[in-house]
Amino acid sequence: MIRRRALYILAYGLASPVASSFVSRPTRAGEPAQKVARVGFVDPESPSTTVRGVAEFWEHLRELGWVEGQNLTIEARWAEGRYDRLPALMAEVVDKNVDVLVTYSTPGAIAAKKATSTIPIVVAAMGDPIGTGIVTSLARPGGNLTGLSLQWDDLSSKWLELLQETIPHLSRVAVISNPDSPLITKVAKDLQEISVKRQVKLSFEDVRERGAFARAFKSARGKAQAALVLADPLTVSSREEIVMLAATHRAPTLYVLQEFMGAGGLMAYAVDSRIMFRRAADYVGKILKGARPADLPIEQPTQLSLAVNLKTAKALGLAIPESILLRADEVIR
């Protein structure tokens, strides 16, 4: 049985309209020509590993009146969890003269920004766009990029706090992450500073390719009592393997994306991607009607979701404290 609570995201006002041009769809004789929008979507993952918010994005876009085959053409590409594929895929979609370019993740945002300075870009989820140099302001991003942001530096302390509350006398945590991610370096620094205050020692287990996760968990088992897995296209695309390895090595693990819970993860503290992608569809809809991305503030989540899997906890021989269960937005029993 799964118990859930509702989540909400802060919304901003409409932006000022500007002229927009779409191609015309052929119509029957006597009917007015219907404008057809062309949306490019570059997914850092694969169709089988993409985050659950993507389906919500397309569904909400249809609710807004944009229907593929009627007034919408989609140019979709998949990076299969590989950073190195993003620039070429972005360039390929830009060459299709799309009206809006949509992506997610910090690497996706950076690749999109490098690919075009004129086509509007909507990033459904990115981490610390100011700290990573994507924009200079959240309120008025300027340029051609907008979207939604996760400020991971605000979450770092909460991740360690949850692990300490869950595991008695926790003193060592292994952080499993891809150091090639443009966001991870900053998050790692934040975690180091917070770990000193919380009197927890961290060991960083670097993974740069799929084959490295087994080694990372084996190393973590000898160094730490729990693990924290940071999200990027590589870890997200490998979430089934990661959750399996956490179970094999009996490592209580906290994840920073809800998608890991679908694979049987123990605990996650994050924003539900479905809400973020739904809001991103609102942004795309506004832009297709003439809004400028420069005038659309980059939004940040106002509420996050704590999910706990009691089945996984039982398999690990771990008793989840009542204090955490009472605060959980989703409990899998």
> Tens of pLDDT along 158-216?
999 999 999 999 999 999 999 988 888 888 989 999 999 999 999 999 999 988 999 99
Residues 145 and 224 occupy one common structural domain: no
Name the domain count of the chain.
2
pLDDT of residue 8: 32
Helix ranges (H only) for 173-327 are 184-198, 213-221, 233-237, 239-248, 273-288, 310-316, 322-327
Do residues 88 and 210 share a domain? no
For residues 243 and 327, state if they share a domain. Answer: yes
Environment class of 259 (CB within 10 Å of its CB; exposed 0-12, middle 13-18, buried 19+):
buried
Q: Do 117 and 196 fall within a single domain?
A: no
Residues 159, 69 within the same domain? no
Question: For 231-244, how does the pLDDT look when each residue is reduced to its tens digit (9 = 90+)?
Answer: 999 999 999 999 99
326: in domain? yes
Where residue 72 sits, what CATH number does that domain have? 3.40.50.2300
280 in Cβ contact with 301 (< 8 Å): no
Q: Give the tokens for residue 85.
A: 């594929």
Parts of the chain with a pLDDT under 50:
1-27, 29-32
Residues 45, 120, single domain; the answer is yes
Please indicate, yes or no, whether residues 192 and 170 belong to a single structural domain of this protein: yes
At residue 34, the pLDDT reads 64
Q: What's the domain range around 328?
A: 153-270+305-332
Orientation angle between helical segments 239-248 and 213-221, nearest 10 degrees: 30
Closest CA to 37 of 77, 15, 64, 14: 64
In a domain, 250, yes or no: yes
Task: Give whole-number Cα distances, 291 to 67, 120, 146, 229, in Å.
Answer: 19, 10, 11, 37
16 and 144 fall within a common domain: yes
Residues 160 and 249 grouped into a single domain: yes
Residue 206 lies in a domain: yes
**pLDDT score, position 183:** 85
Q: Are 133 and 156 in contact (CB under 8 A)?
A: no
| pTM of the predicted protein model | 0.86
Pair (18, 144) in one structural domain: yes
Considering the domain boundaries, does residue 80 fall inside one?
yes
Residue 61 has a pLDDT of 98
The CA distance from 149 to 129, in Å, is 7
Place of tokens 């991305």: 293
Same domain flag for 239 and 133: no
The answer to whether residue 71 is domain-embedded is yes
pLDDT confidence of residue 18: 31
In a domain, 277, yes or no: yes
Model pLDDT, residue 27:
47
pLDDT at 3: 47
Evaluate whether residue 300 is within a structural domain: no
Tell me, yes or no, whether 191 and 288 share the same domain. no
Classified as helix, coil or strand, 276 is helix
Burial code (b: 16+ CB inside 10 Å, e: under 16) for 108-138 equals bbbbbbebbeebbbbbbbbbbbebbebbeee
Entry field: residues in the chain: 333
